[in-house]
Every structure is written in C-alpha cells, then in structure tokens.
Structure 1
Amino acid sequence: MPKQVILAAHFPGVNNQTVWSDPASGSQIDFASFVHLAKTAERGRFDFFFLAEGLRLREQRGRIHDLDVVGRPDALTVLSGLAAVTEHLGLGATVNATFNEPYQLARQLATLDHLSGGRAAWNVVTSSDAFTGENFRRGGFLDYSQRYERAAEFVAVARKLWDSWDPDALVAETGRFVTGQPGAFRHRGAQFDVTGNFTVPRSPQRHPVIIQAGDSDAGRDFGAATADAIFNRHGTLEAGRAFYKDVKEKVRRHGRDPDSVKLLPGVTFVLGDSDADAQERAHHIRRQQVSPQTAILLLEQVWNRDLSAYDPEGPLPKEDPNVDATSIIQGRARMTRDPLETAAKWRALAEEKNLGIRDLIIEVTGRQSFIGTPAHVAEQMNLFVQTDACDGFIVVPHLTPTGLDGFVDTVVPLLQERGVLRSEYTTQTLREHLGL
C-alpha cells in the first residue's frame, strides 16, 4: 500500500518568489484572491491551506522593503472567512508565540476550529527580534535562547486549555457537536502563570493541528517534541531523506510515534508541454523573480552593506560582508548564519560560471523544486514521498491567486491515478485528513 501524498497550498507570500510583474498577478489582500486559491486547493483535494505571517513591515537601509507595501492581513481573520466558503480544506495560520498570550490565542484557534468543523491548524513561530517587538508592549525583551522555551510552554498551556472541558459531561447538543462541562485550568511556569475557566468547548478534532517551521537544532527538537507536522525547506531528495531520518529519530527519542509527525517541505513547480518547455519557462520565471533591484537587495542581506551603487550585471563586491554591524534589514532573520562562508562560496561559483550579481542571485535563490511535464512532476513528487524524503508538500505557486490552477488541472489527476491522493474527501477534520 503506497503512502498517501499530503498536499497543502501556501498562499504566495510577500517575497520575491511571487512574480508581481506578471499580468496574471492579482491582489495580495483582496478576499477574492484567498477564496480563489482555497477553492482551487479544495477542488484538488488538498489537505490544507496555509498562510504566513508578518508582524511588522520589513525595512532595508532604513526604508520599508518594497515587497511589503502590498500589506499583510491577519491570518486568523482571513481563515475565518474561508471557513464559510470551503467544506473540507484544512485552514492553517502562522501565529507568533512570542508576541501573543496562550489564553487569547487558544480561544481564537478553538473558535476557528468550531467555525470550520475541525479544520484549524496553527503554525507556531518564534521571534527574538527587538525591531518587531517595538510593535508590542513587551518589546524585544525575549532572549534568543528562550524563544523555543517560551514556545514549548505556550503550546503546552494552549493544549491544557483545550482539554479543560470534560467531553463526557453532556451539557448541550448543538448541531453535530456535543459540548461538555467547563473545567478549571491552572498553569504556573517560567513563562506563564494563568488560571481560570476556558470559554470554548472542545472542538471536533479536540486540538487544532500544530505545525512547526524551525530548522535549527533547537527548532528540530522543538518540532519533534511538540508538532504534528513540520514545514521544512529541504528540496533535494538527498537532503530530504537526511532531514526525514534525523527528525523521525528525534520524535522517537521523545517517546512519540514517528508516524505522528508529518514532514512537509515547501516546494515550487513549473509545468510545460515538454521538459525543455518547462525549463524555458522556469528560466523566464527566475528572471522575473529576481529583478536587477531585487538582486542588489538580496545581496545586501548577506553582505550587510549598502550596495545600491553596484551594477546588478557586474561582479560581486571585493570587500567582505560586514558581520559586526547591525543587520541592514530589520524585521526578518539574516539569510545565512555565516555570511563570510556564504560570500566565499558565492565568489567561487561566480568565478566558475562567470556570473554577475543578478545571475548569481538567480542561481542561488531563484530555483523551482519540480520542473517538467505534469507526468514528470507527479512522478518526482511521488518518489520523494515513497522513499521517505518527506510525507507530502506545501506547494507554493509563483502567481497570486491563479498559480495553483495548472497544478490541480494536470498533476493532481496523475497522483490520483497512482492511488496516492484522494479522489474525494472521505474524512472531515484536518487531523483525519492527515492520518493523525
């Protein structure tokens, strides 16, 4: 019996992977855009729809980053609207555990879970960024080393709140849901001290699905101990298998069933009538994703210097990255943990292939994960899942909101023919969809 391929649809984010210059590109904040992508994903029998989060507009060289001016709506509000226009599709929101409180967020997620009939998911992210913290009362007080400590306790408190209702003590029946008896909760820990009664009964799937996206050693361990699914960025078969083996072993060491945690890399795709046609389209998309201006901005994030005077088609800077200065970009993590090592690798690659700045940035940042005919893409995606490089994919199209249409029309039927993707929904809650 082959493994089933889990599929999630990522609404194209506020980044250079989205091709804003394409005439088919639509609004990032119009509700109709969210509806189109969600309904397309549900038509393709995807497991869930996934939204990222941005709590502050990024700045580079002291100016708001160009890509952020389109705006970043609140994910939970958008997903509450989508719950009314979808029937089966899971609804995943990225919400920060650093700048929220367990009681409030647990209520919001439990409410979404009820509104959707048990389809809610929470992607837990953390931050120690003082720049983002300026938007909040606590500021950037949280030390970097404490971010996962707080997140782990946050999730534990949320689960305690969700479990505080006694489902066996029947109080009332509302539609298909039976509510239980409210119970008191009490938690006293290093990060939180809360007590009271939770206001929302247990949801149809008991807990919203917990997703985690950190790739550091601490992030992997947090995900292995806490998450139901892990969003990672290991796009090659070899890297995926290594990550899969490492995390599943960590899950086992935490006393959990390895099958209880699903690993889902974020992937992109380009389809064509032939493999050569797809490669040509991919090349065109890469150049749209990395404009001359974008190439300089991305290079600055590694070099940590103002490089606006450099020619995007010219050679890399002779000077090394400035590792001692404050980050030139505020509101997001640096692109690399070791800028000097990255610069050395990029210089070697540029010399080997005779690449200018823009072509180098295209080479190192602008790649699609799966390129080819629909048959080739379906075959490769299935290979990743069946050989334990992942359990499925979070699919990131390059256009808003129609970028998933071709995938659903051509790749999905081929996965269904292989028997690795449902032809119809036979389960209702997201946990059931994922086999959790």
Structure 2
Amino acid sequence: MSKPLKQIHLAAHFPGVNNTTVWSDPAAGSHIEFSSFAHFARTAERARFDFLFLAEGLRLREQGGEIYDLDVVGRPDTFTVLAALAAVTERIGLTGTINSTFNEPYEVARQFASLDHLSGGRAAWNVVTSWDAFTGENFRRGGFLAQDDRYSRAEQFLRTSWELFDSWQDHEIVADTESGRFLRDPRAGEFHHRDQHFDIAGRFNVPRSPQGRPVVFQAGDSEEGREFAAATADAIFSRHSTLDAGRAFYTDVKDRLARHHRTRDELLILPAATFVLGDTDAEARDRAHDVRRAQVSGQTAIKYLEQLWNRDLSGYDPDGPLPDIDPDPGEHTVALGRASVRMFRDPLATAKEWRQKAEAGGLSIRELVIETTGRQTFVGSPSTVATTINDFVQADASDGFILVPHVTPGGLDEFADTVVPLLQERGVFRHDYEGSTLRDHLGLDRPAARNSTRNNDSTKKAAS
C-alpha cells in the first residue's frame, strides 16, 4: 500500500539583500518602498503560500573599509514592515528575522505578541544569533559572543520569551458586559526568570495572542544550530537544496527530535530555493544562463573573491585568471557585516580547489564565481518545476520550499500563475486556506499556556 502524498509547504522570501537579486532587470523595483512589499505579499497570498519571509541586517555591510555598494543601501525595520503588511493581507503568515544576541526577551516578546494580535495569528520569528563586534558596535552591550555562548543565549532568550507569552492564560480576560470592564486574574502576566543570561521579573503587558506564541524558525546549520532547532523550532530555514544533501539533512534533523520528546511532524524543513521558468526547458536554461551572468557582474565576482582571498583584489581583471598569490588566512577580514562571518573554514584549501577547477575548465574569475556560487534550484517549464518540487517533498528531502525570486517585487508572479495551479492539480498543494493562523497553514498545534510563574517549580526556585 502506497503512503499518502505529502502536502507541499511554500513560502516567499522578499529578496532584499542577497546574491540572487538582479538589479539591472528593467522589471526590478524598490527594495524599501512599501508598495514593493505589498505587491510581493499579495502575490504570495493569492497563490495560497504559507508565509512571507523577511531577512534582517543590523548594520550596512562594508568591504575594504567602504560601504558594500553592490548591496541595498538601507534596511527598513522588520516589525514595522510586517505590521503594515498585516493591514493589507488577510491570511499569509508574516515571518521576521530577529536577533537574539543584541535584543532583549521582554522587548521582542512584546513586539511579536502585538504582531500576532494585529494580524489575527500570523506571526513567526526566525531566531538568529550574531557573533561579530562590528555589528555589536551598534548596540549598548556591543562586543561579541563565542559560538557556544551565543547559542546558549539564544536558547535561553527563546525560552524566556515563551515564559512571557505563557504568563497569561487563555481565559484571563473576560468581558463583563454589565460594567463594560474586563475581569482578569490578578496574577495575569506575572513572570520571574533568572539564568546566566537574563534576570528579569515583572508583568508582561500583552495578553495571550491567537497562536499562543509565534511560530519559531531557525536557520543555523552547525551542529549547535541543528540541535537548537530540534529542541525548540517549529521550522528550519535550510540551505540544502539538492536532493541528496536535502535527504541527508532531513534525516539528521528529524532523527534528533525524539530525544527532545518531539514527533517528526512537529518540525518542518524548508530549504531556500531559486527558480527560472520558461515555456520550454531549453528556454528556461537559456534564461537561467542570462540570469546568472546578471547576478554575478565583473565587480560582484571580484568582491566575492576578496571574501575568500581576504585581500584587496580590485586591480584584477574579472575576465582574467585567478590571483597567483594565496589567500590571507588571518583573523582580520576585508568584509564586515552580513559577510563578516568567515565563509570558508580553510581558505588555502578552498583556493587550491578553485584553481584546479579553473584550470580544468579554462575559467576566468567571473566564470568561476558563477560556477561555484550555485545555480538556480529549479530551472525548466512550469510542468518540469512542479514535478521536481513534488519529487523533493515526496522523497523526504524537504517539507516544502522558501522561494527567492531574482526580481523584486514581481518575480514571484509567474510562479504563482503557472506552477502553483499544476501542484494543485496533483493534489499536493491547497486550493484555499483551511484556517486563519500560520499554525493552521503549517499543520502545527497551538501550544497550551504553560504559565511558568504559576506552574514551573524550577523557575520559581531559580527566581527565589
């Protein structure tokens, strides 16, 4: 007996800052005007996607001591954008990336609880960490945290936020129609939390929201990141987009859930995915070739190579050979901000591998960067792309995909109009939303309020 078909989850990543954006396309629009966000969100909702995803950047990138001018100049605040989108959409989930290293639990919990109320239960939080002092200079605490410490803080940050979300019971606000007042439990919102990272106590001033807590996403791929996700997250924003790598990652993370007393359907795995469509597969391949060359200009190729070489390579010809000098493996990095985390664990070994690849293929710097920075995940006619997406999900390489188009804001339109109907015809994607909250879309249960102050003995003891 064959197993039932899995339902595919689809989401859309607003392509504000990433190496997929094609700025030169005549259809490219603003990455900061609200009309772009609204168009993108409405397209995703029209296609019945689960959610919209916003990345976050806490400081403008720099390279060689100057602002990275191939990036968008300016990043609007995530909560402000999502709150505005809540007013112009009805069902699409609203996911924001918020940092756990430089923020505080009370502040973030209050913002997410408010967004969940304003949107009718559509809020989600992509929990990320940051280690570099360059970003930390923007904040009062500044500095940086070692990897073990930042994941420890992230986990305690998240669990502290849960205590705040759960400090109200669902029944604690009851309207008294005769007096026109609200009756509530006098202990509503009360919390006490103390650990090595946080020592806070008081009352949380936002009642329990429609989802109880926002859906939690996690994007780390390290050993610590995978374990953190298995213990706490509802979904993982994964970078594994090939079938074999996706299946290996899927199996690894799902197998971790049991030791955290969770079932395999309590955590969704959603890789990022790019796409290029055409009337035929051949046309799509030709378009994909053109898109890749537009994504990696000569200037972009040199900037990217500098991140591996850790040197100023502005004097090199992007259409010429790789530098004959070795990378500088020192701790100082020429790139700061979004690219300030070392992208290459062993720069010398990577450079050697790249040289061999370039010599074997007769590749210039630009051609090599195009070859090594990945290609579109899905390329083909709408039928081919629909088939491939379904094959990945049914083979347990993912539970769906977070799509990143290369044009803002209209890059999702063609996928919504051509690929989504084919998935619906196959019976693997919804024709309409069946619930009103993001947890409904993702098939996740609404968590019960654990109300830490009243029910969690360990928290009481720690705070006493």
- TM-score, with length taken from structure 1: 0.97
| Residue of structure 2 in register with 1:405 after alignment | 413
Which one-letter code corresponds to 2:225 in the other structure? G
Which one-letter code corresponds to 2:378 in the other structure? F
SS of the counterpart of 1:42? helix
Name the % identity.
Answer: 65
- Preserved contact between residue 304 and residue 325 of structure 1 (Cα < 8 Å): no
Q: CA deviation at 1:356?
A: 0.5
Q: 2:85 aligns with which of 79, 82, 97?
A: 82
Determine if the alignment matches structure 1 residue 248 to structure 2 residue 254.
yes
| Residue of structure 1 in register with 2:16 after alignment | 13
Which one-letter code corresponds to 2:20 in the other structure? Q
Q: CA deviation at 1:70?
A: 2.7
SS of the counterpart of 2:256? helix
Determine if the alignment matches structure 1 residue 311 to structure 2 residue 314.
no
| Residue of structure 2 in register with 1:392 after alignment | 400
Q: CA deviation at 1:341?
A: 2.1
| Residue of structure 1 in register with 2:238 after alignment | 232
- Preserved contact between residue 397 and residue 403 of structure 1 (Cα < 8 Å): yes
Determine if the alignment matches structure 1 residue 421 to structure 2 residue 429.
yes
Offset from partner CA, 1:405-436 (integer Å, 9 cap, x none): 00000000001111111101111110111001
- Preserved contact between residue 230 and residue 256 of structure 2 (Cα < 8 Å): yes
- Preserved contact between residue 313 and residue 357 of structure 1 (Cα < 8 Å): yes
| Residue of structure 2 in register with 1:120 after alignment | 123
Determine if the alignment matches structure 1 residue 95 to structure 2 residue 103.
no
Q: 2:273 aligns with which of 267, 272, 276?
A: 267
Which one-letter code corresponds to 1:349 in the other structure? K
Alignment of 1:17-416 (within 5 A): 17-172=20-175, 181=185, 182-332=188-338, 333-416=341-424
SS of the counterpart of 1:187? strand
Moved over 3 A (4+): 178-181
Q: CA deviation at 1:404?
A: 0.1
Q: CA deviation at 1:142?
A: 2.4
Q: CA deviation at 1:254?
A: 1.7
| Residue of structure 1 in register with 2:457 after alignment | none
Q: CA deviation at 1:68?
A: 3.4
SS of the counterpart of 1:393? strand
- Preserved contact between residue 21 and residue 407 of structure 2 (Cα < 8 Å): yes
Which one-letter code corresponds to 2:98 in the other structure? V
Which one-letter code corresponds to 2:329 in the other structure? V
SS of the counterpart of 1:67? coil
Q: CA separation in 1, counterparts of 2:71 and 2:320?
A: 27
Q: CA separation in 2, counterparts of 1:19 and 1:251?
A: 39
- Preserved contact between residue 183 and residue 198 of structure 1 (Cα < 8 Å): yes
The number of residues matched between the two structures is 433
Q: CA deviation at 1:183?
A: 3.4
Q: Residues 60 and 187 of structure 1: is their aligned pair in 2 closer, same or farther, counting only changes over 3 Å?
A: same
Q: CA separation in 2, counterparts of 1:101 and 1:240?
A: 34
- Preserved contact between residue 405 and residue 411 of structure 2 (Cα < 8 Å): yes
- Preserved contact between residue 106 and residue 161 of structure 1 (Cα < 8 Å): yes
- Preserved contact between residue 289 and residue 366 of structure 1 (Cα < 8 Å): no
Which one-letter code corresponds to 2:384 in the other structure? H
SS of the counterpart of 1:433? helix
- Bigger shift: 102-111 or 7-16? 7-16
Offset from partner CA, 1:176-228 (integer Å, 9 cap, x none): xx996423111000100110111001111101000000001111111111100
- Bigger shift: 133-142 or 234-243? 133-142
Q: Residues 271 and 249 of structure 1: is their aligned pair in 2 closer, same or farther, counting only changes over 3 Å?
A: same
Which one-letter code corresponds to 1:418 in the other structure? R
What RMSD in Å do the two structures reach over aligned CA positions? 1.4
Q: CA separation in 1, counterparts of 2:241 and 2:94?
A: 24
SS of the counterpart of 2:149? helix
Q: Residues 405 and 69 of structure 1: is their aligned pair in 2 closer, same or farther, counting only changes over 3 Å?
A: closer
SS of the counterpart of 2:305? helix
Q: CA separation in 2, counterparts of 1:20 and 1:422?
A: 33
Q: CA deviation at 1:141?
A: 3.8
Where does the alignment leave 5 or more consecutive residues of structure 1 unmatched?
none
- Bigger shift: 6-15 or 27-36? 6-15
Q: CA separation in 1, counterparts of 2:202 and 2:164?
A: 9
Q: CA deviation at 1:5?
A: 0.6
Which one-letter code corresponds to 2:212 in the other structure? R
